[in-house]
Amino acid sequence: MFGRIAALARKDLRLFLRDVRGMILIFFMPFMFIVVMSLALRGSFGGGDEDAPIRVPGVVEDRGGLAGRVLADLDRIGGFEVETTRDGRPLDRAAAEALVTSGERAVALIFPSDFSAAIEAGPDETAGTAVVQVLTDPAASVQVVQPLVGTVRGLVERTVYLALVPRGVDWMIDWIAPDTAALRRSALRAVAQRAAAGVGEEGGRAPVRVERAAPAGMRVEELPDSFEQNVPGYTVFGIFWIVSLIAHSMHDERRQGTFRRLLVAPLGRGTMLVGKLVPYFLINLVQAAVMLGAASLLFDLDLGDSPAGLALVVAAAAAAASGLGVLVSSLARTEAQIGGLTTMLVLTMSAIGGCFVPRVVMPDWLRAAGLASPHAWALDGLQDILMRGYGFAEVLPRAGALLGFAALFFALGMWRFRFE
């Protein structure tokens, strides 16, 4: 039996190696997605990073100095790079709009002429409200815009607060000790301002620091870059394209009459099917190894600490993909049907499974629906190993779910499968 399975597998591997389109679909396409999407989203997925900051043009119409202070604070934050000049000239509104309209920049900030005046007016209710505009293309990704808006709002509030501290000190002194000398009043103002800014008289200690942490048991290291975020998703995406190859191969065997010939041979139907699926399972393993290996070599992807866990997730995902291939080949009767059904299933499952957009940003109902896709489990499994630092034991439930999908797809497929 094993000899016959090996003969069947060898034949299909040979056919695959002669199928240029198949090799492009399996190896080249997912890898290109990783490269293109990672480069395209670099620095913008989640707010930018030190190597590829989000560049933010800032137009300062402010007659005071507080707008400049906000922009300087923003520039100091990792992941943002503020531009206030262009070709040696200060940026104006027209130039900023041109940058956004042309697509060169996703956002631009415009500080109005009364920004500093509005802040220094303090709680005076007769004073107007200065409006800082965040100029964006309506089609811009909210993943770029929202973090920036939040950050700018926080910085403006901090600037307002720091600007109002000396005023507050003056009001208190006027109330408690109106005869305080000007020099002492100035010193008190400076102490209060330093304290408010987070630097005490001794200097150097910020009372509060916000830092990123991870739940217990997960690895806490550097934030993953865009490649590390995209590789798991598009690897899973690529694994499931084997469905197309399996379904087309089954269709070819029926059309060519070779299945009929094999049915007459001393070969059980179960053996035939296993022999048919083994090569595609192996192709998936090689595919994942190539993609993850290439990502590790080219993009410094950390492959985690558990090769066994990684292999388990990949193998379980490949099994689910094989099962889905059998199901599609049992339902589709023509090449056009195979193409349509495969595209619909793989793209939909990839999308709701989080391969393109993280499930965490989806509405609750869609996030729950994603669990009906093997892609979600496979992606979580890969992320467990590659990004969360989990091991073999922790990914067992994910692998179990994937094998459950494999069994379900296979059972449904065999119910309708015909060799002729």
Partner 1 sequence: MGEAILRVEGLVKSFGRRRAVDGLSFTVAPREIFGLLGPNGAGKSTTIGMLATLTRPDAGRIEIEGIDVAREPERVRPLLGYVPQELALYPALSARDNLAFFGRIYGLGGRKLAARVDEVLEVVGLRDRARDAVQTFSGGMMRRLNLAVGLVHAPKLLFLDEPTVGVDPQSRNFIFEHVLRLRDEGLTILYTSHYMEEVQRLCDRVAIVDEGQLLALDSPKALIAELGEGLLIIGLPPGGAEAVTACATTLNALGRVTMRDGLLYVEARRVNQALLELLDLCQVRQLGLRSLQVLEPSLESVFLRLTGKRLRD
**In the complex with partner 1, which residue's Cβ is closer, 220 or 265?**
265
Helix 2-17 vs helix 269-299: crossing angle, to nearest 10: 50
Rounded CA-CA distance 192/189 in Å is 5
**In the complex with partner 1, which residue's Cβ is closer, 18 or 209?**
18
We find the least distance from the C-beta atom of residue 286 to partner 1, in angstroms, to be: 20
3-state secondary structure of 44: coil
- According to DSSP, the β-strands at 85-86 and 80-83 are unpaired
**In the complex with partner 1, which residue's Cβ is closer, 7 or 187?**
7
| Residue pointed to by tokens 């109005």 | 112
**In the complex with partner 1, which residue's Cβ is closer, 6 or 172?**
6
Rounded CA-CA distance 51/71 in Å is 20
Q: What residue spans of 85-224 are helical by DSSP H?
A: 93-102, 115-120, 142-176, 182-197
Rounded CA-CA distance 26/406 in Å is 20
We find the least distance from the C-beta atom of residue 418 to partner 1, in angstroms, to be: 13
By the criterion CB under 8 A, which residues form the site for partner 1? 3-4, 6-8, 10-11, 14-15, 18-19, 256-258, 260-268
We find the least distance from the C-beta atom of residue 337 to partner 1, in angstroms, to be: 22
Q: By the 8 A CB rule, do 260 and 420 touch?
A: yes
- Element housing 294 (H / E): helix 269-299
We find the least distance from the C-beta atom of residue 4 to partner 1, in angstroms, to be: 6
Q: By the 8 A CB rule, do 58 and 83 touch?
A: yes
We find the least distance from the C-beta atom of residue 342 to partner 1, in angstroms, to be: 21
3-state secondary structure of 55: strand
We find the least distance from the C-beta atom of residue 251 to partner 1, in angstroms, to be: 14
**In the complex with partner 1, which residue's Cβ is closer, 184 or 333?**
333
Residue 53 is given by DSSP the state P
**In the complex with partner 1, which residue's Cβ is closer, 16 or 27?**
16
**In the complex with partner 1, which residue's Cβ is closer, 50 or 252?**
252
Rounded CA-CA distance 381/395 in Å is 6
We find the least distance from the C-beta atom of residue 7 to partner 1, in angstroms, to be: 4
